[in-house]
Structure 1
Amino acid sequence: MKGDFSRDTFDPRHHYTRVLMQQGRVHLDADLNEQSAISQHYLQALAADLIGPAGGPAGTAGFGISTDAAVGKNLGKRLDPGDFMIMPGRYYVNGAMCENPQVLLYSEQTGYPFDGNTTVDALAALGSYVVYLDVWERYVAAVEEPFIAEVALGGPDTAGRAQLTWQVRVLPATGEDPVNNQAFWADSLARTVPLMAARAEPPATNNDPCTIEPGARYRGLENQLYRIEVHAPGVAAVQGQGATFKWSRENGSVVMALSGVPAVDATAQTTTVQLATLGRDTDLGLVVGGWVELVDDASTLRHSASPLLRVHSIERDTFTVALEGVADPRVGTDPALHPYLRRWDHDGDPVAGGAVALAESIPGQPVWIDLEDGVQATFLANDQGVPSDYSTGDYWLVPARTATGDVQWPNDGSAAALNPQPLPPRGERHAYAGLSAVGPDPAGGPNPVHTELRKFFARLAT
């Protein structure tokens, strides 16, 4: 959630049932957001307990997969080899209600193609594969959905939205039995979850973990919510290759909408964009030498690590910005996909594509990475020494407060050690459900056979 928040306080381990406002007190965004998170957690847990990991109402469940050309023709859908239809209706995944309002081709989904192995042409050549539903929640701001903003305010935005987002994806299953082999799903979708810890910088002379010296503090002038996010996926970097990360002191919420199509000069390796605004003020705008990311709806849904671009110059009269680097040609060219720039505040490395190489520390021997103003982070390998799998979009939030001169991060529970506790990413949290397994016809027919993987539940009232 890349909104302009003070912090994110919801934690299911607290078992809170309500947020109770008190008279005469300051109202904070975190309190109101925690109340909605408590309610959502309860409703989704209840639905998951009643329905199970995934299921739809019998007879009317959505997300059926069809390759019936006659049905497609009646619905105005042309089915090319390898393509298929996603039928309308509702389906629940991990308690979250997914809705598809109309028949949709696999290739019509925003963000398609997702990768080279699951294009329609690739599916036509595959012997067998699994169609599954990928479900997660994402933050939507006014720059992505302009109707959220109240025009009577003359430009400022107000609240954002959390959107339940889904994609129908494909997993090649050559040589596997995805219907009866549970290990197929575990091997294909499971990963070693990464861990990170954060702290305020201790003085180099302090050898006593129980003593906090005056220099051991957050030295920023303002309260911040640092967002540390994985950019390029993979395992920790080795010799400059592997996962990378970026960070923002404003939770990645500083964004500026494009008002035209980016002009890319492949020879000069530059990209020029015209913006609708240069930001709310100088602190929340662009700076020469800073790093930005060109984003739109499709790249967000693809979870693609678009090249980070460095600001070369800013024409403030025309809102024109010259960027060093070549943008992804798939991003920013369609105004209907709400293209915009997102500002990042890290000191990027051009060798790492503008991000920072992500290196893991040995358990018990953390190597701390300096962000700014005393804020530090470390990525930790697990106790078994197995490299973690970093995914684009994994993120951690680090609130930094001037009142304490420290960051808000849990310790490991040892009063003598006061070591920051390694935590998994706060998101994005994805849930998955199988829809259909596609394979050759056992009878030798020319058309592939679909095996239903959806689960169904009966209505309480009939």
Structure 2
Amino acid sequence: MKGDFSRDTFDPRNHYTRVLLQQGRVHLDADFNEQAAIGVHYQRLLARDVIGPEGGPRDNAGFAVITDQAVAKPLGKKLVPGDFLIGAGRYYVNGAVCQNPAALLYSEQPGYPFDDATTTDSLADLPNYTIYLDVWERHINAVEDPGLLEPALGGPDTATRAQLTWQVRALPGGLADGGTDVAGHFVRAVPLLAAQAEPPATNNDPCSVDPAARYRGLENQLYRVEIHAPGPAGAPGSGATFKWSRDNGSVTMPLAGSPAVDTVSNTTAVTLTTLGRDTDLGLVVGGWVELVDDNSTLRHAAAPLLRVHSIDRDDFSVVLEGLADPATGLDPRLHPYLRRWDHDGDPASGGAVAVVESAAGAPQWLDLEDGVQVYFQGADGGAPGDYRTGDYWLIPARTATGDVEWPREDGVADLNPQPLPPHGEEHAYAGLSGVGPGPAGTPGQVFTELRKFFAPLAHAL
């Protein structure tokens, strides 16, 4: 969630059931957001306990995989080899209800094509594959949905939204179990990260925090450390990288027109609707940005990081070093914008910072700024971490304490920071259909139903 938040206080381990506001107190965004998170958590927990990991209501189960041209034609859809209809209805995945209001083609989904291996042309040539549902929660700001702005108040940027998002995707080659455990296919070695405020150089005790250790920033910040390129740590040229923002990645600037990519000068020129609310929340020469839109976000792609070369503050035009994705930013209906990042990247490695994992018991701290440090530990049990684009950690830094808010081992403030898994982005998966060749001598492919169904608990007599 890349919003302008003070911090994220929800933790299911606390077992809180409500947030209780008190009279005469300051109201904070974190309190309201935690109340919403508590409600969603228990709602999905109940649905998961009653329904199971996945399932659709028997009378309105959605996401059927339909390959019958006779069904598609009355809906105004044309099926070509490799394409299929996604049926309307509801389906629950890990407690979250996914709703498809009307049947649509696999190729009509926002963000399609997701990759070269799963285009309709590619699927038509595959002997077998598994069709599955990928579900996650997406953060929507006023740039991505201008309807969030209130014209009667002059269009101020107020609250943002969380949107349950789904994609029907294909897994080439299928699964050995026929596709019944799609979620198991995506199990990975989840990486861990710890954060602290920099101890002074004179402190040689790794198990204590010197009183002189300080966060030196002049403002409270919510640092966001986000994985950019996926993969293992430390693989030269192809390993995982990260970027960071002191404002939770919330500084965005909409495009006023299509970007101009110049392959000769290796630059991308853009015109923006704004250069930011003020100098602290704007662009700086030498800073890093990425150009994204709705489709690139839905593809979970690591957009090229571009460096600000020059800014014309009279006409809001910006020249960026590097080439943006040529398919991004061309359609204003997809809400293209620049997102600012604050790390000091290396142009030779694509602008991001290489993920370096620390050996067990020997943290290798990486400096962000103003005394804020992080280290990557790898997964629980000592296995190397499997880093995924979009994994992120949030680090609140506070001027009043001169420290960062981060759990310490055993909850004792003078012990080492506790390595934690990413705050998100959490994905859930469910199988929809297994696809394979038919019996010998029969043409075409056979689609095997993988969805699960449940009946209402109460029935009319």
TM category (shorter chain) comes to over 0.9
Shift of 1:174: 5.3
CA shift digits 1:232-282 (9 cap, x unpaired): 011102234301000000000000111100010011110011111111111
What is the 5 A alignment of 1:208-227? 208-209=205-206, 211-227=208-224
Q: 1:452 and 2:449 equivalent?
A: yes
The C-alpha deviation readout for 1:118-138, integer Å capped at 9, x for no partner, is 111110011111110000101
2:161 alignment partner in structure 1: 161
The number of aligned residues is 459
Instruction: Write the letter of the residue equivalent to 1:173.
Output: G
d(CA) in 1 for partners of 2:330, 2:390: 22
Q: What's the CA shift string for 1:370-415, capped at 9, x where partnerless?
A: 0000000000123544221101000000000000000000011175
Give the counterpart letter for 1:274 in structure 2.
Answer: T
Deviates more, 1:356-365 or 1:209-218: 209-218
Structure 1 residue 363: Cα displacement: 1.4
The TM-score, its normalising length taken from structure 2, stands at 0.97
Give the CA deviation at 1:214.
4.4
Letter of the structure 1 residue corresponding to residue 99 of structure 2:
E
Which position in structure 2 is the counterpart of 1:112? 112
Q: How far has the Cα of 1:352 moved from its partner?
A: 1.9
- Aligned match for 2:439, one of 439, 442, 458: 442
Other-structure match for 1:198: 195
Is residue 202–residue 213 contact of structure 1 (8 Å, CA) maintained in 2? yes
Alignment correspondent of 2:415: 418
Aligned AA for 1:461? H
Counterparts of 1:365 and 1:209, CA distance in 2: 9
Q: What does residue 253 of structure 1 align with?
A: 250
Alignment-mate amino acid for residue 354 of structure 1: G
Aligned equivalents of 1:255 and 1:179: distance in 2? 40
Alignment of 1:256-405 (within 5 A): 256-382=253-379, 384-405=381-402
Partners in 1 of 2:378 and 2:255 — Cα distance? Answer: 40
Distance 1:74 1:43, change over 3 A: same
- Unpaired runs of 5+ residues, structure 2, are none
Report deviation, 1:185.
Answer: 5.3
AA in 2 matched with 1:292: V
For 1:240 and 1:349, locate their aligned partners in 2 and report how far apart those are by CA, in whole Å: 12
Return the alpha-carbon distance in structure 2 between the equivalents of residues 142 and 101 of structure 1: 24
User: Matches of 1:145 and 1:131 in 2, distance apart?
Assistant: 30
Work out whether 1:71 is the aligned partner of 2:87.
no
CA deviation map 1:134-165 (0-9, x unaligned):
00101100000000011233342100001000
CA contact (8 A) 1:314 1:322 kept: yes
Say which SS state the counterpart of residue 49 (structure 2) adopts: helix
Q: Structure 1 residues 416, 248: CA separation in 2 closer, same or farther (over 3 Å shift)?
A: closer
Deviation (angstroms), 1:94: 0.8
Which has the larger displacement, 62-71 or 1-10? Answer: 62-71
Partner-residue secondary structure (3-state), 2:279 = coil
SS in structure 1 of the partner of residue 121 of structure 2: helix
CA distance in 2: counterparts of 1:49 and 1:174, whole angstroms: 28
State the identity as a percent. 69
Query: Residue in 2 aligned with 1:132?
Result: 132
Q: Distance in 2 between matches of 1:194 and 1:384?
A: 11
Q: Partners in 2 of 1:285 and 1:450 — Cα distance?
A: 52
Cα distance in structure 1, aligned partners of 2:104 and 2:446: 20
Q: Which AA in structure 2 matches 1:295?
A: V
Q: How high is the TM-score relative to the length of structure 1?
A: 0.96
SS of match in other structure, 2:280: coil
Q: How far 1:9 moved relative to its partner?
A: 0.2
Cα distance change of structure 1 residues 143 and 248 upon mapping to structure 2, 3 Å threshold: same
- 1:81 and 2:81 aligned: yes
The amino acid that maps onto 1:161 is: R
- Tell me what 1:241 maps to: 238
Contact 1:231 1:392 in 2 (8 A): yes
1:5 aligned residue = 5
Distance, in Å, in 1 between the alignment partners of 2:207 and 2:81 is 66
C-alpha RMSD of matched pairs (Å): 1.5
1:278–1:155 CA distance, 2 compared to 1 (3 A): farther
The letter of the residue matching 2:359 is I
Task: State the Cα distance separating 1:203 from its structure 2 match.
Answer: 1.1
Paired residue secondary structure (1:283): helix
